[in-house]
Chain A
Amino acid sequence: MNYKLTIGWLYPELMNIYGDRGNATALTKRCQWRGIETEMVMLDLGFFEEDLKKCDILLMGGAQDKQQEAVSKDLFKKSKILQSMIKENIPGLYICGAYQFLGNYYKEANGNIIKGLGIFDLYTENPGENAKRLIGNAVFENKNFGRLFGFENHGGRTYLGKNIRPFGEVVRGFGNNGVDSTEGATYNNSFGTYLHGPILPKNPLFADYLISMALEVKYKTKITLEKLDDELEQKARLAIAKRLSVRI
């Protein structure tokens, strides 16, 4: 059977600050190398709802404040569709600003509250300019994908509510807030995380999980993906693992 996946990239023009394009590239290439056809849909400001609905997998990255404001206005108009897609198990990866945005709210340093989409039960607080940004190489552990390697850089501290699970446990770095050892959040097949790097090329198990889940949801059958040669991926993981004195 010939499989095909439609990858929806939310706001590639504005939400792409930390090499997020690499995640889109990783999904595309890892599909193509297995003969799975892909189509990339760029969902920029003012995109049509129909284009979002036809996506089998979603990606959204982080941005600078100004960009985030513009995106927020646009995405609120379409949040119902996004919410129902997430409920229907459409896999998605939401990084940094996008991750915060899926939560209930973001509290600025001056106390001002910016409403989130309320899809993930979590909130984020910015502790102000005197608190340090959480920056550096980071590793966290998830029981299905093992250790995930990347880089984090965020001022906001995120706290999870009762109705959501963390994506993983911090091994090195800060994670959601630098205090409770949780990193990211996951709900159905959607994942929010502070890890960029970008995350998917260097964490192929996780990338493949998103692909296989997207196929299973779309074709309603159990999928086992063909193995790929991940030697370089392993070497890149090993190099940073050595530096941080952790195993891969």
Chain B
Amino acid sequence: MGHGSTWPGHIALKLNPNFVNDVLKQSKTKIILVTGTNGKTTTAKLLQTILEENNQKVFLNASGANLLNGIASSIILKSALTGKLYFNYAIFEVDENTLPQIIEKLEPDFIIALNLFRDQLDRYGEINTVAKKWKDAYRNLNKTEFILNADDPQIAYLGDGLDLKTHYFGLNDHKFEYKIQQHAADSILCPKCGIKLTYDAFYFSHLGKWKCENCQLKRPNPDLESFQYYPLLGTYAIYDTLAAVLTTQILGLNNEQIEKALKTFKPAFGRQEITEINGKKTQLFLSKNPTSFNESLRTINANKTRNLLLVLDDRIPDGTDVSWIWDIDFETLINKNTKLYLAGDRVYDLALRLKYASVNFSKENVFENLEKAIRSGLDKTNNSDIFYILPTYSAMLETRKILTGKKIL
């Protein structure tokens, strides 16, 4: 999917099913897998930045080419004629659903597991099933170290009874706490015994300070709870930063080296990416499921948003089922003074959702044409303001094409 260039990998794997493992082993390249529902791309980019700024050679699999074929093809393209790779680190983003297949073929040095949220149930199945498949797959590993999110019960539980080195990151900051659970929470039952969990605090969705009163399973004490510098806005991005920082600390870098590197960080495309068009700023916040949508809204709300475009597509990468928009907390997260623009393949479903949330928007701002929506919002945006855009995945690619193609006049 995506990349047309996966055929060299396909052939290599046909000839030698252990191709990826063999090349990487021979090259002494350390392999880091990043998985989870939200934040994979950002975390991989953070890791890459920290390592490269500290003179390490890093190999990152291109987005879209997430499967083994893609990884194998990237290796072929990047390796010397001898079949050796001259890289210190290989960072691979792995979809939550393909992780078990990948680690069957390749034993990573590190697995970073960020979170599990409901996302594309039409494609990936339910999160309990995903978590169970992960836990089964880990039985075959011998040397992998785990970097786990202590605040996500399903993720933290992966470390329970695991005979491998585990490290935890989590938040410990009153500033980010909510006392009431947000609606889109998935994992409120104990992953071990199935009884409802109790929380001292929520950070977002089902992430927080949790424990099970029944079987005593509880949030592990994090090895890292905060850092001196965060390059991105929003609670969810703070988790991504903590994951990258903890990993690079384990790899031997000190906080000064890490901070200095993070100050050069540029967001991955579509993830808080800023584009300037004729002196006007737009900022894209990829919002692909209820949790990431809620967090995007919460993040931009802190910045007195005047003009906001929401784009809902329902293509394969977005998930073909749009019912998830009813799990977004529009009722409380849209500012009264924000002017809304709506677009996307399923713009009327989005409009209907907002109507039932009693959020005001004008009929003229419901666009079947994305380019018109962007132009209209930009017209109303002052030079000192930012025009915020929250798109699903395909919508983000299309929006970006329009913005960077400078088709807008």
The answer to whether B83 has its CB under 8 Å from any CB of chain A is: no
Which residues in A have their C-beta under 8 angstroms from that of B323? Answer: 18-19, 22, 151, 196-198
Which residues in A have their C-beta under 8 angstroms from that of B320? Answer: 135-137, 151
Q: Name the CB-closest residue of B to A65.
A: B128
Interface residues of A in 157-187 (CB under 8 A from B): none
A80 to B347, alpha carbons, bound, how many Å?
43
Interface residues of B in 194-232 (CB under 8 A from A): 194, 196
Residue of A45, A65, A67, A232 contacting most chain B CB atoms (<10 Å)? A232
| B128–A21 CB distance below 8 A | no
| B326–A202 CB distance below 8 A | no
Identify the B interface with A (CB < 8 A): 118, 121-122, 126-129, 183, 188-189, 194, 196, 320-327, 346-349, 351-353, 355-358
The answer to whether A142 has its CB under 8 Å from any CB of chain B is: no
A/B interface sample: 29 pairs, CB < 8 A:
A16-B327, A19-B325, A19-B327, A20-B326, A21-B183, A21-B326, A22-B326, A22-B356, A25-B356, A29-B356, A64-B128, A64-B129, A65-B126, A66-B189, A67-B189, A69-B194, A135-B122, A135-B321, A137-B320, A151-B321, A151-B322, A153-B121, A198-B323, A201-B326, A201-B352, A201-B353, A232-B352, A236-B349, A236-B351
Q: Name the CB-closest residue of A to B118.
A: A17
Contact among A66, A69, A232 with B355 in the assembled complex (CB-CB below 8 Å): A232
Identify the A interface with B (CB < 8 A): 13-14, 16-22, 25-26, 29, 45, 64-67, 69-70, 135-137, 151, 153, 196-198, 201-202, 232-233, 235-236, 238-239
Q: Name the CB-closest residue of A to B123.
A: A135
Question: Given contacts A25-B326, A197-B323, is CB(A202)–CB(B352) below 8 Å?
Answer: yes
Q: Name the CB-closest residue of B to A22.
A: B326
| A26–B356 CB distance below 8 A | yes
| B128–A45 CB distance below 8 A | no
Return B97 CB to nearest CB of chain A, in Å: 13
| A239–B128 CB distance below 8 A | no
Q: Which 10 A-B pairs have the closest CB atoms?
A: A19-B326, A22-B326, A19-B323, A236-B348, A64-B126, A235-B348, A151-B321, A18-B323, A66-B128, A236-B352
